[in-house]
Amino acid sequence: MKILVTVKRVTDYERKVKIKPDGSGFETEGMNFVPNPFDEIAVEEALRLTKEHGGDVVVVSIGPNDATQQIRQALAMGAQRGILVQAGELDSDAVARVLQKLVEKENPDLVLMGKQATDDDANQAGQLLAGYLGWPQATFASKTEGLESAEEKAQKPGVKVADGWASVAREADGGIETIKVQLPAVITTDLRLNHPRFASLPGIMKAKKKPIEEIPVASLGVDITPKVRVLKYEEPPARLAGVKVADVDELVNKLKNEAKVI
Amino acid sequence: MDTKPKPSTALPVEDLLPGGGFLLESAASKEIFTAERLNEDQRAFYRTAVDFVEKEIVPRHEAIEHKEAGLIPELLRKAGELGMHMIDIPEAFGGLGLDKTTSCLVSEAVARQGSFSVSLGAHNGIGMLPLVFFGSDAQKNHWLPQFADASKIGAYALTEPGSGSDALAAKTVAKLSDDGQHWILNGSKMWITNAKIADVFTVFAKIDGKKFSAFLVPADAEGLDIGRDEPKMGILGSNTCAMSFDNVKIPKDNLLGEEGKGHKIAFNILNMGRLRLGVAVMGGAKYVLGMAARYAKERKQFGSALSDFKAIQQKLADMAVRVYMVESTSYRTTGNVDAAMSKVDKNDPDRGQRIVEAIEEYNIEASIMKVSGSEALDFVADEAVQIHGGYGYSREYGVECAYRDSRINRIFEGTNEINRMLIPGTLLKRAMKGQLNILPVAQGIQDSLHRAASPVPALGDGPMAQEIQLAELVRRATTYTLATAAMKLMTELEKEQEQLMMLADMVIDAYTIDTVVRRAVQAQAEETEKRAELHRLIASIAANTIYENAMARARRIVVELFPDEDQYTRFMELKRLHLDVTQPLVPMKRRLAEAVVEADGYPLPYVS
């Protein structure tokens, strides 16, 4: 089977981001960039599925030329080839439309995506893509057996594929629900689907020789006019210091008259 | 683009100075390799190593320190799955055959957990490299694939109860058996890392009590006894034991390298070990600085975070400067070694030997890395404990372990005293052999001190002009002092260990200031403005501090060398290299500390 996996270049979630003074975006100078962690899980799942069923994993990133590095990391994990759509910041809808074009070109049996990117946490592109393609979707794929299971240790996929259907476990309130979707489909991956492998040193060496196709976004003929406009970024207000109260009466008084919550 | 375009990453071969060559030429005339010039592959390897250590090693810290059975071998095998032991194995033997910069970068990443770092180095460093460089093809074909995946673990047995620094005085003896088919080993070894988990040891012994040689000894050889796991001060998770050999019989083919050439193996492996150790301790120091910075930010006293107090800021700034100094000399040195190695013809039948020579060329620099790196880590770990106050003394906090783990680094891979002796000793040996033009250069410097024109180099242009001037003064003072001591004491110098120690410190100063300033100058064109400013700040603090220390050392050496006559003349000579005006450092340190606090640690992390 052929699987298309998306990998977004995001700011390192372990470093604190700083908002530009004019609120137009984030400071990127000196920032470290990593693959979106949910996408790494998608890459891992794709590699396990193709190991079990045969086939190829194609990695797609939409972003600046530097996103090549995140594609290379996925190639170092074991994916076969990469596609970089060269573009600036796009909203989720534009991302879905660009991916739709690529899917029509590549004809994969499955699209695997992180459920959301850790930079904007939008959680929309996968759903929108399925909508535009008219494909079934299964979001937040997880692992029934859990991450400490023998299945995980044996690097078995959590998404089970058989007879043209994929069965996907999703974490729901109070348990796990399993849904079946007919392929081709879009599946988005949640945190507890797998432990992604490391990019090994020999893998990094091999990845250098794997092809990455570069496609300028303009050449795809997709309408990328933003549907969502970001007006401004600001820091959440700093938490005010607490106050000590002498007794319960004072507390009740403050809650009633100052905080006006009772 | 987030960063300026990267320059071509490898050091141009024409810019390669010989080992010790930094004493001959002024700063900023040639390019050096720096951490800013790490290429994409090197950054990717580093990321993998960091990722692995953060996810697989650091979370098991407690289990490692409590010596959970089988854990270290398991983790070594996991590291093997990622190819971490393949870096130094040539491609012909199933390895990756990568450069020394990569090898050192990975060591830097692994240093976050001291015990594991030492176990890994004993396996794929001193345990494996004797085979890589001196093994026969048959030995390499047999062992290297098993080292690569850590299905077999290696160790290195040189030290004995009676011979530590004096390694060649080993008493372990090898004798050929009567049928001429086996070596029979008798004797004992001490402080052997990985002894209990190793499958094969590189053991040094004297054939017939005379010819110092190396042997591959399997752990299951009859008569080989591994002693108890020594209770140690730090690196508690690594195992360190004594070993005894009671008529241990090994096949004749287990001789490693040539009979009587064991010293070449021992010393060259130590050279390589020092390169990696120098970088590893710097990686440890970065990690500890991170702990200190985060704690200083969180901990409040007198209503303010510790990081708001100027005394604490000064500490954080000083720690960052020490890390930068070692980071700079480390990667300059690995860049030199890589450039020298790249000159070796791939088809040279003696390629292994040529590579050993390329590494040996920079043994002065490797000793500098080892000494200044281990002392920087001690300084940083000590200040990190201090910033933590009472909590720093508690086992609950990581800095307590880091402080204990740090101490061994000044002792193993050649004590810092032995390494200090090697620094001026090797320089002068090369000068005497005509390999290094120190004496003519020193004569030129001395002549300039007697001319009417000021011997202080003119202040150039650019943001780092003053620092370039200071570096040049330190270089001249060091070369002058070294040559003066050599001329005065001649062959007696090697007995004057006190002078040698101080001379070593001056050479370390000279290499460090030259490197730090060159790196910062290069960074102005290569780095974003925010990072370029940090390079300027750090280099400026380092240059001013080193200049003052070096000049004080030079004066002291002159006093010791010329207690009576000539002292005044020498003083007057040195004084002409003195510059009164230096920069105030407090504002710079405050600005740097701010950057350390903002970055939660070392403010110039490798970005990708």
Residue B27: predicted pLDDT: 61
Contact A66 B2 (CB under 8 A): yes
Q: Which chain B residues in 89-128 lie under 8 Å from chain A, judged by CB atoms?
A: 96, 98
Contact A72 B81 (CB under 8 A): no
Domain spanning B13-20+418-577, CATH class: mainly alpha
Instruction: For B261-320, give the DSSP string.
Output: -HHHHHHHHHHHHHHHHHHHHHHHHHHHHHHHHHHHHH-EETTEEGGGSHHHHHHHHHHH
Mean per-residue pLDDT of chain A: 94
Say how far apart CA B262 and CA B206 lie, in whole Å. 9
Residue from B4, B6, B45 to probe the interface with A (highest A Cβ count within 10 Å): B45
Domain A2-227 has CATH 1.10.620.20: no
Minimum Cα–Cα distance from A72: chain B residue? B44
Residue B4: predicted pLDDT: 45
Count of other CB atoms within 10 angstroms of residue A250? 12
State CA B527 to chain mean position distance: 26
Q: Which two tokens stand for residue B579?
A: 């510059």
Residue A222: predicted pLDDT: 95
Say how far apart CA B605 and CA B54 lie, in whole Å. 16
> pLDDT (tens digit, 0 to 9) for every residue of chain A, 262 residues total?
999 999 999 998 888 788 898 988 888 877 889 999 999 999 999 999 999 999 999 999 999 999 999 999 999 999 999 999 999 999 999 999 999 999 999 999 999 999 999 988 999 999 999 999 999 999 999 999 989 999 999 999 999 999 999 999 999 888 899 999 999 999 999 999 999 999 999 999 999 999 999 999 999 999 999 999 889 999 888 888 788 899 999 999 999 998 888 8
Minimum Cα–Cα distance from A26: chain B residue? B2
The β-bridge relationship of strands A185-189 and A175-182 is unpaired
Question: Among B421, B502, B508, B513, which Cα is nearest to B469's?
Answer: B513
Say how far apart CA A56 and CA B53 lie, in whole Å. 30
Could you say which of A30, A65, A204 has the minimum Cβ distance to residue B528? A30
- Does residue B403 sit at the A interface (CB-CB below 8 Å)? no
Count of other CB atoms within 10 angstroms of residue B162? 11
Could you say which of A28, A32, A199 has the minimum Cβ distance to residue B608? A32
Contact A32 B607 (CB under 8 A): yes
Question: Among A174, A177, A115, A111, which Cα is nearest to A144's?
Answer: A177
Residue B28: predicted pLDDT: 60
- Does residue A32 sit at the B interface (CB-CB below 8 Å)? yes
Minimum Cα–Cα distance from B102: chain A residue? A201
Partners of residue B112 in chain A, C-beta under 8 Å: none
pLDDT > 70 fraction of chain A, expressed in percent and rounded: 100
Contact of B507 with B427, CB cutoff 8 Å: yes
Residue with tokens 């080989």: B224
Say how far apart CA A157 and CA A166 lie, in whole Å. 11
Phi-psi sector, B86: left (phi>0), alpha (psi -120 to 50), beta: alpha
> How many CB pairs below 8 Å do chains A and B form together?
67
Q: Name A173's Cβ contacts closer than 8 Å, sequence gap at least 6.
A: none
- Does residue A72 sit at the B interface (CB-CB below 8 Å)? yes
List C-alpha distances in Å: B172 to B175, B184, B196, B262, B389: 10, 10, 20, 13, 47
Residue B1: predicted pLDDT: 35
In which residue ranges of chain B is pLDDT below 50? 1-7
Partners of residue B2 in chain A, C-beta under 8 Å: 28-31, 33, 66
How many Å lie between the alpha carbon of A149 and the closest alpha carbon of chain B? Answer: 17
Partners of residue B47 in chain A, C-beta under 8 Å: 73, 199
> Cα torsion for A109, A114, A119, A125, to the nearest 10°?
50
- Does residue A13 sit at the B interface (CB-CB below 8 Å)? no
List C-alpha distances in Å: A147 to A142, A159, A168, B307: 9, 13, 15, 40
> Cα torsion for B278, B283, B288, B293, to the nearest 10°?
120
Question: Among A57, A97, A105, which Cα is nearest to A217's?
Answer: A97
How many Å lie between the alpha carbon of B330 and the closest alpha carbon of chain A? Answer: 22
Contact A200 B83 (CB under 8 A): yes
**Residue of B413, B467, B526, B527 marked catalytic:** B413
How many Å lie between the alpha carbon of A49 and the closest alpha carbon of chain B? Answer: 21
Domain B263-413 has CATH 1.10.10.1100: no
The DSSP bridge partners found for residue A214 are A84
Please give the ipTM for the structure prediction.
Answer: 0.86
Question: Among B353, B238, B331, B294, which Cα is nearest to B518's?
Answer: B331
Q: Residues B481-507, buried b or exposed e (16+ Cβ, 10 A)? A: bbbbbbebeeeebeebeebbbbbbbbb
* Phi/psi of residue B390, nearest 5 degrees: -55, -35
Contact B44 A73 (CB under 8 A): yes
Give the single-character DSSP code of B248.
E
Q: Name B22's Cβ contacts closer than 8 Å, sequence gap at least 6.
A: B475, B510, B511, B514, B515
Contact B82 A205 (CB under 8 A): no
Partners of residue A196 in chain B, C-beta under 8 Å: none
Partners of residue A33 in chain B, C-beta under 8 Å: 2, 607-608
How many Å lie between the alpha carbon of B47 and the closest alpha carbon of chain A? Answer: 9
The β-bridge relationship of strands B200-207 and B173-176 is parallel
Contact B528 A29 (CB under 8 A): yes
* Phi/psi of residue B491, nearest 5 degrees: -70, -15
Say how far apart CA A196 and CA B52 lie, in whole Å. 11
Question: Among B72, B55, B54, which Cα is nearest to B63's?
Answer: B72
Question: Among B87, B72, B163, B68, which Cα is nearest to B118's?
Answer: B72
For B461-478, the pLDDT digits (tens) are 888 999 999 999 999 999
State the burial class of residue A32 (Cβ atoms within 10 Å of its Cβ: 0-12, 13-18, 19+): middle
For B516-535, the pLDDT digits (tens) are 999 999 999 999 999 999 99
State the burial class of residue B367 (Cβ atoms within 10 Å of its Cβ: 0-12, 13-18, 19+): buried
Q: Which two tokens stand for residue A252?
A: 């009740």
Contact A201 B47 (CB under 8 A): no
How many Å lie between the alpha carbon of B242 and the closest alpha carbon of chain A? Answer: 35
Give the single-character DSSP code of B57.
I
Residue B9: predicted pLDDT: 64
The residues spanned by each domain of chain B are: 13-20+418-577, 263-413
Partners of residue B82 in chain A, C-beta under 8 Å: 198, 200-201
Could you say which of A29, A30, A200 has the minimum Cβ distance to residue B82? A200
For A156-174, the pLDDT digits (tens) are 999 999 999 999 999 988 8
Partners of residue B98 in chain A, C-beta under 8 Å: 201
Q: Name B604's Cβ contacts closer than 8 Å, sequence gap at least 6.
A: B35, B324, B531, B534, B535, B538
Say how far apart CA A138 and CA A216 lie, in whole Å. 30
Q: Is B413 a catalytic residue?
A: yes
Minimum Cα–Cα distance from B85: chain A residue? A201
Instruction: For A125-156, give the DSSP string.
Output: HHHHHHHHHT--EEEEEE-TT-TTSHHHHTT-
Q: Which two tokens stand for residue B398?
A: 């990581």
Contact B530 A30 (CB under 8 A): yes
Count of other CB atoms within 10 angstroms of residue B147? 29
The DSSP bridge partners found for residue A215 are A85
Could you say which of B48, B529, B600 has the minimum Cβ distance to residue A200? B48
- Does residue A208 sit at the B interface (CB-CB below 8 Å)? yes
Residues in chain B: 608
Phi-psi sector, B209: left (phi>0), alpha (psi -120 to 50), beta: left
Q: Name B514's Cβ contacts closer than 8 Å, sequence gap at least 6.
A: B22, B27, B471, B474, B475
- Does residue A206 sit at the B interface (CB-CB below 8 Å)? no
Letter for the amino acid at B220? D
